[in-house]
Structure 1
Amino acid sequence: MSVPVPAEPDPRRWRALWVCLIAGFMTLLDVSIVNVALPSMEHGIGATPADVSWVVSGYALTFGLALVPAGRLGDDYGRRRMFLFGLALFVVTSVLCGVAPNATWLVVARLCQGIAGGLLNPQIIGMMQQLFSGRERGKAFGAFGATVGLSTAVGPVLGGLLIQAFGIGEGWRWVFYVNLPIGVLAILFGLRLLPKDGRTGRKRVPDLVGTLLLGGAVVLVMLPLIEQEQQNGSPRWWLMGIAAGLLVLFVLWERLLGNRGKHPLVNLKLLTVRSYSMGSVLGMVYFAGFTGIFLVLTLFFQQGQGYSALQAGAAMLAFAIGSAISPVLGGRLVHRLGRPMIVAGVLLAALGLAGTAWLVRDYTGSGAALVLAAPLFVAGFGSGLVIAPNSTLALEDISPAEGGTAAGVLQTGQRIGSAVGTALGGALFFGELSRSHGDYHSAAALGLLGSTGLVTLALLVGIVDVVLSRVRKARTTVAEPPPRPALTGSVRGLAPQETAAIALTSLETHQVHRTNTGPDGDFALTAPAGTYVLLAKVDGRDPVARHVVLGTEPSREDLQLPASARLAGTVHAGPGPFHGAQVTVLDAEGRVQGTTVTDASGRYTVDGLVPGEYQVVVTSYAPAATPVDLTADGPAQVDPLLRLGSTVD
Structure 2
Amino acid sequence: MCNFTYYIITLPRAIKILMKLHEFEVMQDTDRAPHARGFTALLLGMALTIVDVPMFAIAMPGIGADLGLSTQDLALIAGCYPLVVAMLLLPAGRAGDWFGRRRMFLAGGLLFLFGAVLSAVASGPLSLGGARMLQGAGGAALAPQAMAMIPRLFLPAYQSRAFERFAMTASLASVCGPLVAGILLVLSPVWLGWRTIFLTEAFIVLLVMLMTTRQLAPDKTESATSSSFAEVISFATLILCLVAPLYVGPAFSWPVPTVVMLVAAFPCAALFARLSARAGQGSLVPFGLLRLPSLRWSLAFVFLAVSAPPGFFVILSLMLQSGLALSALQTGLVTAGFPAGVVIGSWISGRVSLQPLARVALGVGLLCASFVLMHFLLPQVTAGRLMPLRMGMIGAGLSMGLTVTSVMQLGMSGLPRDLTGSGAGTIQTMQQVSMAASIALSFAIYGTMLTTRPAVEAAAAMLWLQIASTGAATLLAGALLCFPIFRDRKVHT
Same fold (TM over 0.5): yes
Change (3 A) 1:159 1:392: same
Once the two structures are TM-superposed, the CA of residue 403 in structure 1 deviates from its matched residue by 0.6
Q: How does 1:361-440 map to 2 (within 5 A)?
A: 361=379, 363-436=380-453, 439-440=454-455
For 1:447 and 1:276, the matched residues in 2 are separated by: 30
For 1:454 and 1:48, the matched residues in 2 are separated by: 32
Counterpart of 1:136?
158
For 2:334 and 2:396, the matched residues in 1 are separated by: 14
Q: How far does the alpha carbon of each residue in 1:351-393 deviate from its partner, in whole angstroms, 9 at most, with x for none?
A: 11111111112x1544343221122211111011111221111
Change (3 A) 1:156 1:252: same
Change (3 A) 1:114 1:472: closer
1:358 partnered with 2:376: yes
For 1:197 and 1:160, the matched residues in 2 are separated by: 38
| C-alpha contact (below 8 Å) 2:316/2:459 kept by paired residues | yes
Once the two structures are TM-superposed, the CA of residue 461 in structure 1 deviates from its matched residue by 1.9
| C-alpha contact (below 8 Å) 2:226/2:283 kept by paired residues | no
For 1:156 and 1:128, the matched residues in 2 are separated by: 29
Counterpart of 2:90?
68
1:346 partnered with 2:367: no
Counterpart of 1:311 in 2: which secondary structure? helix
Q: How far does the alpha carbon of each residue in 1:569-599 deviate from its partner, in whole angstroms, 9 at most, with x for none?
A: xxxxxxxxxxxxxxxxxxxxxxxxxxxxxxx
Counterpart of 2:120?
98
Q: How does 1:446-525 map to 2 (within 5 A)?
A: 446-469=461-484
Q: How far does the alpha carbon of each residue in 1:585-642 deviate from its partner, in whole angstroms, 9 at most, with x for none?
A: xxxxxxxxxxxxxxxxxxxxxxxxxxxxxxxxxxxxxxxxxxxxxxxxxxxxxxxxxx
1:225 partnered with 2:243: no
Aligned residues: 463
Change (3 A) 1:391 1:149: closer
For 2:253 and 2:492, the matched residues in 1 are separated by: 52
Counterpart of 2:111 in 1: which secondary structure? helix
Counterpart of 1:147?
169
Counterpart of 1:569?
none
For 1:423 and 1:250, the matched residues in 2 are separated by: 25
For 1:388 and 1:433, the matched residues in 2 are separated by: 35
What one-letter code is carried by the residue in structure 2 that aligns with 1:463? G
Counterpart of 1:177?
199
Provide the alpha-carbon RMSD of the alignment.
Answer: 2.4
Aligned counterpart for 1:281 among listed residues 282, 300, 304: 300
Counterpart of 1:615?
none
Change (3 A) 1:141 1:471: closer
| C-alpha contact (below 8 Å) 1:135/1:332 kept by paired residues | no
Change (3 A) 1:90 1:67: same
Change (3 A) 1:203 1:385: same
Higher strand share: 1
For 1:300 and 1:30, the matched residues in 2 are separated by: 20
What one-letter code is carried by the residue in structure 2 that aligns with 1:211? V
List gaps (5 residues or longer) in structure 2: 1-29
Once the two structures are TM-superposed, the CA of residue 463 in structure 1 deviates from its matched residue by 1.6
Percent of pairs identical after alignment? Answer: 26
| C-alpha contact (below 8 Å) 2:85/2:139 kept by paired residues | yes
Aligned counterpart for 2:287 among listed residues 244, 247, 268: 268
Higher Rg: 1
Once the two structures are TM-superposed, the CA of residue 405 in structure 1 deviates from its matched residue by 0.7
For 1:513 and 1:445, the matched residues in 2 are separated by: 36
Counterpart of 1:161?
183
What one-letter code is carried by the residue in structure 2 that aligns with 1:290? P
What one-letter code is carried by the residue in structure 2 that aligns with 1:37? A
| C-alpha contact (below 8 Å) 1:429/1:446 kept by paired residues | yes
Counterpart of 1:297?
316
| C-alpha contact (below 8 Å) 2:98/2:221 kept by paired residues | no
Q: How does 1:525-604 map to 2 (within 5 A)?
A: none
Counterpart of 1:628?
none
Q: How far does the alpha carbon of each residue in 1:286-323 deviate from its partner, in whole angstroms, 9 at most, with x for none?
A: 14422210122112101110111111121111122211
Q: How far does the alpha carbon of each residue in 1:234-269 deviate from its partner, in whole angstroms, 9 at most, with x for none?
A: 4723322211111111111211222xxx72222022
Counterpart of 1:204 in 2: which secondary structure? coil
Once the two structures are TM-superposed, the CA of residue 63 in structure 1 deviates from its matched residue by 0.5
| C-alpha contact (below 8 Å) 1:165/1:171 kept by paired residues | no
Counterpart of 1:207?
228
For 1:286 and 1:244, the matched residues in 2 are separated by: 24
With 380-389 and 48-57 compared, the bigger mean Cα shift is at 48-57
Change (3 A) 1:194 1:512: farther
Counterpart of 1:639?
none
Counterpart of 1:143 in 2: which secondary structure? helix
Counterpart of 1:247?
269
Once the two structures are TM-superposed, the CA of residue 226 in structure 1 deviates from its matched residue by 0.9
| C-alpha contact (below 8 Å) 1:286/1:454 kept by paired residues | yes
Question: TM-score when scaled to structure 1?
Answer: 0.68
Once the two structures are TM-superposed, the CA of residue 339 in structure 1 deviates from its matched residue by 0.8
Change (3 A) 1:28 1:297: same
After TM superposition, which residue ranges in structure 1, 4 or more long, deviate above 6 angstroms? 470-473, 511-514
Counterpart of 2:56?
34
Aligned counterpart for 1:324 among listed residues 325, 343, 347: 343
For 1:443 and 1:168, the matched residues in 2 are separated by: 33
Change (3 A) 1:412 1:368: farther
Counterpart of 2:457?
442
For 2:53 and 2:252, the matched residues in 1 are separated by: 21
Counterpart of 2:47?
25
Change (3 A) 1:154 1:223: closer
Change (3 A) 1:315 1:364: closer
For 1:168 and 1:403, the matched residues in 2 are separated by: 45
Q: How far does the alpha carbon of each residue in 1:157-195 deviate from its partner, in whole angstroms, 9 at most, with x for none?
A: 221222223356631101010022212221111112113
| C-alpha contact (below 8 Å) 1:292/1:418 kept by paired residues | yes
For 1:28 and 1:80, the matched residues in 2 are separated by: 19
| C-alpha contact (below 8 Å) 1:138/1:332 kept by paired residues | no
For 1:88 and 1:106, the matched residues in 2 are separated by: 18
Change (3 A) 1:368 1:225: farther
Counterpart of 1:441 in 2: which secondary structure? helix
Counterpart of 1:500?
none
Higher helix share: 2
What one-letter code is carried by the residue in structure 2 that aligns with 1:60? P
| C-alpha contact (below 8 Å) 2:175/2:310 kept by paired residues | no
List gaps (5 residues or longer) in structure 1: 1-7, 477-510, 515-649
For 1:375 and 1:441, the matched residues in 2 are separated by: 15
Change (3 A) 1:364 1:141: closer
For 2:389 and 2:492, the matched residues in 1 are separated by: 46
Counterpart of 1:47 in 2: which secondary structure? coil
